[in-house]
Amino acid sequence: MTVTFEDIRLAAQRLEGLAIRTPLMESQALNDRLGLRVLIKPETLQRVGAFKFRGAFNRLAQIPQAARAAGVVAFSSGNHAQGVALAARMLGMPALIVMPADAPQVKVDATRGYGAEIRLYDRMKEDRIAIAAEIARDRGATVVPAFDDLDVIAGQGTVGLEMVQQAEAIHAELDMFICPVGGGGLLAGSSLAVKALSPKTLVVGVEPAGFDDTRISFEAGVRQGLTPTTRSLCDALESPAPGELTFPILQTTLKEIAVVSDAEVADGMRYAFSTLKLVVEPGGVVGLAALLARRVASLRSGQTVGLVLSGGNVDPGLFARVLQGDY
């Protein structure tokens, strides 16, 4: 099974009036610096401060009424956690989120604030998937994966759907669509929508150095896993392998995967704050970082680029250090 454009269209109907239809922004300063026209979709302005609400609500809204009382279980370092927690509250369902003990405190606090129960774990020693599965069995709850789920992918695909529609409304044709990639839910769903509506648009994913599992897999032609030996500034993108459902989609839609360093991510965060006037978390800014650092090989001068800034939930202390130049 896979996700279709019709699935994404139906997800958009479920989300209408609930998810924020984030705008397209344009910065003349950024355009002049890059020699491009960049149309920015700031999912930093979405409910919970990230695109994750879209997929979470689309998944939870389709859980049968008889199963809702048992609630849902998810595992996430933060943004999916908040998306599931808010969607569950809106639908009157209990939620438990398995979160790493070193997750940004701002994300832990926000998840609790939406009413979810939290189970912390050691990401270096414990298996979050196994923990979630055991809790779900004990409670009879529904597990909601962060990216490897058809309904989640379809919900995230509404980002790409909206971007193409909004570009068309201002008579712009996207030569390229650039988006962060961790497990691949956002990029898989959005690239399907983009390619359905604008087949000539090239799709580019961006990953952090050390967690470029999608790039390695894409070049190998088969899913490849990584054994991380370090951490990335982009905590939201530290997936060790692309998803079983997302990767086959990406194989059909992707042009390339760009990779950025922590230093380039920090530069992107500073630029977003100083020039775009947006607070963007490390994982959410990788696309901008790739543009600023000229990491997109297939990009050509004068092109029109759709750029997703996927989230803005950054730890205040970390953000202050980045702005001060400590990264």
310 is catalytic: yes
Could you tell me how many residues make up the chain?
A: 327
- Chain centroid to CA 4: 19
For the sheet containing 202-208, what is the strand order?
37-42, 304-309, 176-180, 202-208, 254-260
Indicate the Cα dihedral angle 5, 203, 77, 290, nearest 10°: -160
Q: What are phi and psi of 252, to 5 degrees?
A: -90, -15
Distances 200 to 64, 135, 181 between C-alpha atoms, Å? 39, 45, 21
Pairing relationship of beta strands 95-100 and 117-121 according to DSSP bridges:
parallel
In angstroms, the CA 219 to CA 108 distance is: 36
Residue (of 259, 160, 255) closest to 202 by Cα position: 255
Catalytic residue from among 76, 198, 217, 310 = 310
Alpha helix locations (H) across the chain?
5-15, 28-34, 52-60, 65-68, 79-91, 105-113, 128-139, 150-156, 158-169, 185-197, 213-220, 246-253, 262-271, 286-292, 316-323
Tokens read off for 77: 């370092």
Catalytic residue from among 41, 52, 107, 195 = 52
200 is catalytic: no
For the sheet containing 117-121, what is the strand order?
117-121, 95-100, 72-75, 142-143
Residue 244 CB burial class (10 angstroms; 0-12, 13-18, ≥19) = exposed
Tokens read off for 116: 């979810």
Would you please indicate which residues are annotated as catalytic (active-site) residues? 52, 310
